[in-house]
Structure formats: C-alpha cells, structure tokens
Chain A
Amino acid sequence: MRERLERAVTAVPDGYVELRLRHRWVTTLVFRRQRLEVATQYETLGGVARCLAPGHGWGAVAFTDADRATTAVERAYELSLETHPTPPIALAAIPIRQVEQAEALMDDPRTVPLKTKRGLLEQLTGELLGADRRVVDARTSYVDAVHETWLATSEGAWLHDLRSETSLSALAVASEDGSEERAIESVAIPGGSGAIRPHGGIFRSVAESAVGRLHAMPVRPGRYPVVLDPRASGALVLQAISSHCRAPTRGAERDLLPVGTRIGPDCLSVGDDPTAAGLRTSLWLDDEATPVSHTMLVRHGVVVGHLHTRETAARASAAPTGHALAPALRSVPVARPTNTYLAKGQGDLEQLLAAVSLGVYVADVQGITEEARRLSLAPGAARMIRRGELAEPIKCPPIVADLYSWFGRLEAVGGDFVWDSSSSATQDPGPNRSVTTGAPHTRFVDLEIAPMYA
C-alpha cells in the first residue's frame, strides 16, 4: 500500500498533494425494546486526494478503490487548476514525520462473532427494560469499528494507523399518569467489546433517570447560582470556547475570539490536547500529516491561542497546531478540536455546593445550541440545591445566556477533573467528528432560568 500511495502523490508535475485512504470495519446492533432492529457488519474503503497547484486553489477527488489513487490525484490536480484564488493559498511549513502505528489490536472486535455482540446488547437492554415497570420504551445500540488509515503527502509525510473503538447508547422512555419523560446515555471508548462490557451499568442508570424525572416539578423561574457537572461543564466549554478558537476559512474571521480577549475570570483555562493518553480521539498526526500538539486556548480567562490548519496558520503567521481534521472520510480537513478540556481548579462538588443556599444543579446535558454567541444549555437532569446540599429532582428548561455572560458569571472551578467518555460531537453542520471533553464541576452565579414552556 505504501509504495502505491507514495507513487500516486508524485503523479502530477508540481504543487502539494495529499492522499488519505481509510479502511473501516463496522458492526452495528440496534434494539427497539426487546426487538432487534439492526444487526449488521460492513467494511468500506475510501479515500480522498487533495491537490494545491501552485497559484491555484484546492481540488479534491474522492475514490473508493486504492487502484484509482493515481487517477484521483490527477483529477484533483485538474480541478485545482480550475480555481484562481487571490492572493494564492499558502501552507505553513511542518516537520515531516513518518509514523507507523498499526500493530495488531489487543481486543480486536472483528474477531468476536456478531451473535456474541447481540447477546451483550440484548442482555443490557433487558436490564434497562426490567429496571422499573414505568419504563415503557427503549432504544439501544452497540457499535464497534476498526479504522485503518494511510496518509501520504508529496512532502514525504507518512502515516499508517490502526485503531478500534466501541460505543453503547441507550434511550429510555418512562411514563406514568399521563406524564412522559426520557433519558439518554452513551459511552464510547477505544478498544473492542471486551473493553466496553464494564460500562453496561449505563443501561440501568438511564432507566432510573427517566423514571426519576416523571414526577419532578418544574423549577420556579428566576435567577439562581448554578452548578454544572463535569459533562455539562465540558460541553459548554467545547461549544462556547473551542468552537470560537478554531481558525476559520478566509473572510469568516468574525466568529473567532481574538487573542488577548478576556472572556472569563482567572479560574478559566481551556486547552485542546490531541496527545492525551487513552482517549479514542487522540492522534499522532492530523489529516494534513502535521504532528499534533497540546494547544492552550484560554489561560486565566484570556484567549491565548487558536486551533490551526496549515492554511489558516500561514494566513495568521502562526504555527500549525495539528488540528486539521476532516469530519468524514471523504471530506477535506478544517480546524477542529479533538480533546477539549477545562483545566481543574480546587475543591470537590461538596465544596462547590456548600456556598449555595438555594440554587440549581445540572447533572448531565442533553445538548448545547448556539446562535450568534447566545448559548442554550439543555440540562439532561437537574436537582435543586438547598442549604448547600443536593435536594429534589426538578425539570429545568434550557439555560440561555450570551457567551460573555456565561463565563463572566463563572465563580468557581472544582478540582475533580474527569474526561467524559460519552459519545459526543461538535455542532457543525454536515458530518460530525467525535470530540472528547474533560472538565471538573463548575459554579456560576446569577443565571436566569426561564419558565418551562413559555
């Protein structure tokens, strides 16, 4: 394969050529209640050739057969010649690395029969449905995937990477007395079905969450101190900060938070670390073959850096950070986060709660949406805080505030940092790419909580 791809990247007379090829083996199982809806395995091979002819723009051609790599490079070169950007596109220089990380997998999911995987999900789904009589519906899934990636560039960079990941997800719907509530939970880890088995407890806990919400009362509208759990804190940082510290395409810099901008207090430090050990989204080289690096985005409340591709780095006279990532196999790379984290502070949940006489605790997050830097955090579950302790479960509507309002109200960051192993992804339109978040508990003051539905 290496010889074939390295020959293909030299098939055009000049310019930069990048060739990515990926072989994927995927197993998917889906249950609706106790009924198996999908049980399948597939493998796919696909790649993309990207060319930048001198003085021209990008041309890209996707292909599904390694034998057509040379043809794809030649066609991408022709497409590149059809574009005439002014000024011409430049790429920042990178160290050229050759990385081989394709040793045999320890827990290779391809060696486990489909029936065995089905048995695992069936058992866990049964546990979910049997957890409480009020659980009336469930949708559960098991997905494992092995990815083998080859990347060659005309500058001599090379990557051969083999990895596996497995995920479980569960949605439970509970119903009683005309009230209907749902809860969602997921886990995604590197490795195969052996590694995921110990995480099966989420199936019972998701059932308990859905039932727990059935008779929760809506929170009284008003302004409250709010404590976010690590998952909600990490999701907020990803959407509010990392997404605005990704160097954008030319002309769209308005969404970028400029370096030097203060967005929060001293306890707010945010980074993105693709080198973090043991996470499924960690990398050696990004999709442009740039060696990845730990990048600080916010230090003590002030923006200090951005995530870059080679093109955005050249435009900003900065160094590429190794964050050029394609959202899908046959997409072209843009600057994206990998493992975004909020650096830990001091103290644990008990200490964060102790200062709150009446407040709201957000445990889990359904999602965060953003429009024009107004962020809406939809709690997955919530409880009142009374006299410094967690109290009754409540229904809490999405909490909405401007980016600067959110972090201007950040009062304390705990020391109980954890990486979140749920399957998550950035909110970009189009195909998403998984991102891992990490954070401790956080406490915000004076956030407005609106009426539930009006």
Chain B
Amino acid sequence: MIGAVIADLASEVTAADGVATTDETIAVAVDAGGDVAVACDRCALLALRVADHGRIGWAGGHVETSAAVVAAALESARAGDPLELILPAPSPVAAVATASAPAAAATPADLLAIARGLRDRLARDGRLVEVWAERSAGRVEVGNTRGVALGYDVTLAGVGATVIDRAGGPACRVHLAGAELPGPEQVERLGREVDDRLRPPLLEELPRQSAFTAWFEPRAVRTLLRPLLARLTGAEWTDRAPPVPPLDPRLTVIDDPLAPLRPGSRPIDDDGVVTRRLTLIDGGRAVTGVLDLATAARLERPATGHGWRRGMSAPAIGFSNLLVEPGPDDRAALFRALGTGLLVADLAWGPAPNPEPGAFRVHAPWCFLVEDGAVVARLPRAIVAGNVFDLFRRVVAIGAETDWIGAARVPSVIVDGVGVGA
C-alpha cells in the first residue's frame, strides 16, 4: 500500500516517506456483575511526510482517503519550515519477532476464556473483580522515495483486572501486555500480585518518620523512570549539559527494539531508519538520547531509529523496549537489604510540584511497611516524595528478577532517603 502512494508522489515532490498500518482489535470485558461486552475495531491508517521545495509537510488519515492525505501533506509543506531532511537508504535489517500467529488468530471466545480465567483466579468473597482481554493484529509498512520498502506483521495482546476490596481501599489495577497471548503462568502471576497487595492488614497512621529506605517494585520503578526518560528524548537530550546528572553506577538502561515479541519490537522505525540496541545509561552515566529523523536533522546529529508516526497522531519520538539491567540480589537478599522500611508496589503518577528538575509528590496506595524483612502492614494513606535524580543516586540494591511492564523490563530497586507523608 505505502509503496504505491510513495511511487505516485515521487514525481511531485523532492522526497517523501510514510507508514501504512492495518489493525484489527478485539476487546472483551467482564464487569463486576458478570456482564460481558465484546467490541471489534478495524482500521487502516496512513501517515505521510513530504519534502517540497525544501519545506517539510506531514499529514495522516485513513488509507481509504489517501488522496486527501497526500493533498493535506502538500498543504502542510507549504506552511512548514525549511529542513534539510535526508531520508535513509535501504539497509539490511535484523530479524526480530514482532507477531504471534496464535494471537493473530484469537477469537472473542479465546479472549473471553483468558479474561474469565483471570476473573476466576481473583474471585474471593468481599472482592469486586472486573477483567478485560484484548488483542490487536495487523501489519506495518514503511517506505520512502529512496527505496526503503519494508513491512512486518505485529500483534499485541493483553489482559488486566481491576479488583476492589469491599472493605475499603483503592482499586487494585494490574495488567500485562506482549505480542503473545498471555498464558496460565502469566495469569497466575497477576493473581499473586493482587493477593500480595490485598493481604496485609491496613495501617491508617504512618510511622513518625519523614524519610525511609524504600524498595520500589518493577511497576513503581517504571513510573519513576518517567522524568529520566523525558531528559533522554529529542531536544531535551541535547539542550542540557549534562542532560542527566550522574546516577548510581549500578544503573544501566538499554533500549532494545530487537527484543523478541515485545510491544516495542520492530526491525525499522517509522522514519525508515534501521533499529538497533542502544545503551542509554551506562553505569549511571547517560551516554545517548533518542532522536527521530526530523529532530536529528534539525540538531545535525544521526537519527537513532526512534521515530513513531502512526495514523493521525503527530510524529513523536519514543522508546522501543526499555531494559533496566538487573542486579545480583534475589528477593531474600532484597528483604535483608531493606531491613525495616517501605515496599512500594506501584505509584499513582500525577502533576508534580515541579517536574522539570525531577521533583515529585505522589500517592502510593500500594505502599507496605516492612519490619525486619517481613511485610507487616499496608499504608493506604502514604504519599511518596522526592527527586527522581537524587533517588537514583542513592541506590541501595537492585533486584536480580525482572518483570515486563508493557514495553519495559524492570527489576526492583531499593533506594535510601525517600520522603514519605500522609
């Protein structure tokens, strides 16, 4: 599809590139009362960029209206800024698994079976359980006027639950996603995660201490990474010197588009740049950021293969699969390292006092008091505060086990001096 559009444009403009995607999504949901809803969504989208008389234009739309998308891209170029954009030439790409045949073939009945399996696992007296399962299957085609023409199949499947304890407390939300359909082992892992969160007794009053050593589990670490990753994206990376202050030398973060069957896996980015594994933070020091083709051209740097251009969404720079390198400590060692402190399973990120320098102050409804290596209570009123960059300088231990949280593989991290209030 994209090849035909690009070929038609080749004689009209200096250069053009684009991404065509097809997608069929099936979603099932079972609410707390047992009602089932099934939805199906199909679409084919086109994102097109043209370089005309040195000016760049961009437009997106449905494949069915590709002529209108072309016209809108040309109009955009007339209003756009000059930019010397050199499109990539065809290059060999690495093999990476991006789709699962069973996921692509899954029916509403298959997804309902997965959702109901999770619901049965989570059901208890006194709990309200809502579950959902979803899979999308489609194809991504990337092309440009220099001859790049590559397509790859993609699937994404996920299952999740919201569990409410009738006795009180916040809704407990868990989910997982990957290119393959979730199996019984992963459903069981979600079940254990919910049980671990809801089992400890509640302690409404916080201990009289304003700073704790805290064990952030993978979901919470993924959230804490947000200000750090923002500093490594696009012009944020090049505008600051240094973009990220030195962190604990045990911290290494990698972007890996070639990890098989993960949400961010792809052999080529949406700008036609071949993707590769990239170390972002090496031993606590930021070594590179991520750039798409247009930002790289503006900054006169090489593109890193992190362009995302899908349908009507504006072109964006984004990571693929993030890997935070694990440490040496198993769970028992982490409990020993923590001794007495807090275990934070998840964080509710929100508007921070000042996100520019990394300051945050957020609800931590899944925060547990640990005494002498054992979880003794949940602190539903806890608020966690600090500065992300300071916290990642005060690392006590990094876990050996990792979890995939969406497109990020993350270990637990224990840090010192975490501010806690109610």
Chain A contact residues, CB within 8 Å of chain B: 26, 28, 30, 32, 35-46, 57-65, 75, 79-80, 82-86, 89, 113-115, 117-118, 137, 173, 180-182, 249-252, 254-255, 330, 332, 366-367, 369, 371-372, 374, 376, 378, 395, 397-398, 400, 429, 450-454
* Chain B, interface residues (CB within 8 Å), range: 35 or more
A44 touching B351, Cβ below 8 Å = no
Closest Cβ of chain A: how far from B249's Cβ, in Å? 25
Closest Cβ of chain B: how far from A382's Cβ, in Å? 11
Query: In the docked arrangement, what's the CA distance between A251 and B76, Å?
Result: 49
Chain B residues with Cβ under 8 A from A118's Cβ? 79
A454 touching B365, Cβ below 8 Å = no
B69 touching A400, Cβ below 8 Å = no
B350 touching A367, Cβ below 8 Å = yes
How many A-B pairs have beta carbons closer than 8 Å: the answer is: 207
Query: In the docked arrangement, what's the CA distance between A284 and B393, Å?
Result: 56
Q: List 17 A-B contacts (CB under 8 A).
A: A32-B235, A35-B81, A36-B81, A39-B57, A43-B68, A60-B38, A60-B40, A62-B40, A64-B42, A82-B38, A83-B38, A84-B36, A250-B31, A369-B363, A378-B352, A398-B353, A450-B383
B350 touching A369, Cβ below 8 Å = yes
Chain B residues with Cβ under 8 A from A452's Cβ? 353
Chain B residues with Cβ under 8 A from A398's Cβ? 350-351, 353, 361
Query: In the docked arrangement, what's the CA distance between A46 and B170, Å?
Result: 36
Chain A residues with Cβ under 8 A from B38's Cβ? 57-60, 79-80, 82-83
Select the stretch in B7-15, B161-169, B394-402 that faces chain A.
B161-169
In the complex, what residue of chain A is closest to B295 when comparing beta carbons?
A37
Closest Cβ of chain A: how far from B209's Cβ, in Å? 11
Q: With A79-B39, A180-B354, A400-B422 in contact, do A42 and B108 touch (Cβ < 8 Å)?
A: no
In this complex, which of B73, B353, B359, B380 has the most chain A Cβ atoms within 10 angstroms of its Cβ? Answer: B353
In the complex, what residue of chain A is closest to B352 when comparing beta carbons?
A378
Q: With A252-B31, A376-B363 in contact, do A41 and B62 touch (Cβ < 8 Å)?
A: no
Chain A residues with Cβ under 8 A from B410's Cβ? none
Q: With A89-B35, A453-B361 in contact, do A254 and B128 touch (Cβ < 8 Å)?
A: yes
Query: In the docked arrangement, what's the CA distance between A255 and B59, Å?
Result: 42
Q: With A86-B34, A372-B365 in contact, do A65 and B39 touch (Cβ < 8 Å)?
A: no
Chain B residues with Cβ under 8 A from A395's Cβ? 353-354
Chain B residues with Cβ under 8 A from A85's Cβ? 33-36
Residues 285-300 of B, flagged 1 when their CB comes within 8 A of A and 0 if not, give: 0000000000000100
Q: With A35-B298, A82-B38 in contact, do A397 and B64 touch (Cβ < 8 Å)?
A: no
B76 touching A40, Cβ below 8 Å = yes
Closest Cβ of chain B: how far from A193's Cβ, in Å? 13
Closest Cβ of chain B: how far from A448's Cβ, in Å? 9
